[in-house]
Structure 1
Amino acid sequence: MPKAYVFTRYGGPETESLTDLPRPVPGPGELLVAVRAAGVNPVDWKRRAGYLAAFAPVEFPAVIGSEVAGVVVEAGEGVEGFAPGDAVFGNPLTGGYAEYTLLPAETTGRKPEAVSFADAATLPVAAATAYDGVHQLGLPPGATLLITGVGGGVGVAAAQIARHAGLTVVGTASVAKKEFVESLGVTYVEPGPGLAERVRAAAPGGVQAVYDLVGGAALEEAAEALDDRSKLITAADRETVARLGGSPVERARSREVLEEVAALVEQGVLRPFVTATHPLSEASTALRAVEEGHARGKIVIEVPGD
């Protein structure tokens, strides 16, 4: 039977294991996809830890992973426009760290030939979230955007998309990521207490918006640098941003957005920065790097094809 990396109950890494599972069967509107690459994201370990259980419960064993790229094996009833052999990417219905998964045809993107499976697998969560947030803010060219946690997958994509839109970007990240962040054309600011003052020093004209990817105290500190709280958005902390007068990132979750960000990769505007790849047998190693905050850019699990 096909391999999949699962968690068997809510908890820590001890709940994870590589196991055999039956190959999924596509229902109406679904695509069975042979996975070639799966992106690794913070939401993966947060789901395993039970943080999302209240509004997104799972059945155990649950396959980990929220974004994949692969090849269509079979289309379910009512699916049009896709055929076996098509290269696609999207958010899986049955987890991504696996040899096979199901994708909803309606929100699955076609992978451009010039974009690798590894790069495409970074787009459905990180790059699409970045794209949605930057477009939600709707800043004019020349405006300045502060991104907290700019050194992670969403932040790296958001910085590139924002700069392509003509924005000036200021960003926070760990000191270890300073050089990497600056290579993106971002003005680096060290996070922590006193952030608002450091941001004002780095951007004397002020910041016109904040895109938060950290939450908690970091979000509160960043908000102090902003006059218009309607331009405060977060992909990390709905409760705090509501209290501060901002809003969460509004996700489009559409095929159009996926194919738009893939086009940016194809054009060389957006670099996914896949900094490490692991085979499915090393899924634990890949997820630990993200869970422990050591990842720079994106980590991808690769599954060999036939």
Structure 2
Amino acid sequence: MPKAYVFTRNGGPEAEALVDRDTPVPGPGELLVAVRAAGVNPVDWKLRAGYTRPGSEPLPFPTVFGSEAAGVVVATGPGVGTFAVGDEVFGSVLTGGYAEYTLLPVAVTAHKPAGLSFADAAVLPVAAATAYDGVSQLGLAPGATLLITGAGGGVGAAAVQLARHAGVHVIGAASPAKKEFVESLGAVHVASGAGLADRVRAAAPDGIDAVFDLVGGDTLREAARLLADPATLISAGGKPLAEELGGAPVERARTAAVLAELADLVASGVLRTHVTRTFPLAGAGEALRAVESGHALGKTVIEVTA
């Protein structure tokens, strides 16, 4: 039977297991995909720990880890449009990405360009798409200055590159250990932590025009103080607090069109995914620990043997 990496209850790493499971069956508008790569994101371990998305139902156990994947279509349900068996695709998953087989909804699935690796495609639907939606939401003009907190992570790295591509000057807040990485993306690095506002003022003496927050908490509060207009604050790291401070959460589009645009940007060299670590499916637990530590650079991927 096909393998999948699951959590069997809410808790810590002790709740994780590599198990056999039945191959999912695609329904209307769904694709059964043989997974070649799956992205690892902080939300994966947070769901295991008991976090629930607002408005969502409690998760059934066991639940397969993972929100994004890339692979090859092996079966289709009714009404799948231009998708066919044998197509190489990537998108958001319905039945978990850390698996040999999963289901993708066509509404949030795109064709993988031939020049794009499965690993690079697999990390676009969550982090890169969140970055794309946030930068689009702010709509800053060329020459504007944007502060991105958490600039060394998966969403932050993509957001820096997309904003720079739009002609925006970027201040990237991240740990000192990530300074070289953040600067390689085209941002001016400032160290995160207490005193952030003073360091940002020193790096941008003319002020900043917007904040794209990916951290929340005290970092978000300090960053908000730098803005003359709180409406130019958006957050994917502390959504309720952002609203309390006069800003807004990142408005997610979650469309196949955004995924296709991101794939084109990667294929053309505008956007680099910065996949820095890969693990086999049997090493999914180690991959989760790497991301859960909070110190991972760029993106971590689980590769599934064809």
- Could you say which TM-score interval applies, normalised by the shorter chain? over 0.9
> Please, what is the CA RMSD of the aligned residues?
0.9
Report the secondary structure of 1:272's partner residue. coil
Q: Which residue number corresponds to residue 190 of structure 2?
A: 189
Q: Which amino acid aligns with 2:82?
A: G
Classify 1:223/1:53 alpha carbon distance in 2 versus 1 (closer, same or farther; 3 Å).
closer
Please give the per-residue CA displacement for 1:246-294, whole angstroms capped at 9, x wherever unaligned: 0000000000000001100011000000001000000000011111112
Paired with 2:86 and 2:175, the residues of 1 have a C-alpha distance of 42
Q: Which residue number corresponds to residue 169 of structure 1?
A: 170
Q: Which residue number corresponds to residue 47 of structure 2?
A: 47
User: Alpha-carbon deviation of 1:79?
Assistant: 1.7
Q: Which amino acid aligns with 1:283?
A: A
Q: Confirm or deny: 8 A CA contact 1:147 1:212 kept in the other structure.
A: yes
Q: Which residue number corresponds to residue 117 of structure 1?
A: 118
Q: Does 1:13 align with 2:13?
A: yes
Report the secondary structure of 2:181's partner residue. helix
Q: Normalised by the size of structure 2, how large is the TM-score?
A: 0.98
Classify 1:31/1:117 alpha carbon distance in 2 versus 1 (closer, same or farther; 3 Å).
same
Q: Which residue number corresponds to residue 215 of structure 1?
A: 216
Please list every run of 5 or more consecutive structure 1 residues that lacks an aligned counterpart in the other structure: none
Q: Which residue number corresponds to residue 300 of structure 2?
A: 299
Q: Confirm or deny: 8 A CA contact 1:197 1:225 kept in the other structure.
A: no
Paired with 1:85 and 1:159, the residues of 2 have a C-alpha distance of 35
Q: Which amino acid aligns with 1:101?
A: T
Q: Which residue number corresponds to residue 3 of structure 1?
A: 3
Matches within 5 A, 1:67-216: 67-216=68-217
Paired with 1:53 and 1:211, the residues of 2 have a C-alpha distance of 21
Q: Which amino acid aligns with 2:20?
A: D
Q: Which amino acid aligns with 1:298?
A: K
Report the secondary structure of 1:112's partner residue. coil
Paired with 2:170 and 2:77, the residues of 1 have a C-alpha distance of 44
Paired with 1:106 and 1:197, the residues of 2 have a C-alpha distance of 44
Q: Which residue number corresponds to residue 249 of structure 2?
A: 248
Paired with 2:12 and 2:251, the residues of 1 have a C-alpha distance of 29
Paired with 1:33 and 1:95, the residues of 2 have a C-alpha distance of 11
Paired with 1:42 and 1:55, the residues of 2 have a C-alpha distance of 19
Q: Normalised by the size of structure 1, how large is the TM-score?
A: 0.98
Report the secondary structure of 1:176's partner residue. helix
Report the secondary structure of 2:23's partner residue. coil
Q: Which residue number corresponds to residue 259 of structure 2?
A: 258
User: Alpha-carbon deviation of 1:224?
Assistant: 1.0
Q: Which residue number corresponds to residue 64 of structure 1?
A: 65
Poorly superposed stretches of 4+, deviation over 3 Å: none
User: Alpha-carbon deviation of 1:228?
Assistant: 1.0
Report the secondary structure of 1:227's partner residue. coil
Q: Which amino acid aligns with 2:3?
A: K
Matches within 5 A, 1:28-47: 28-47=28-47
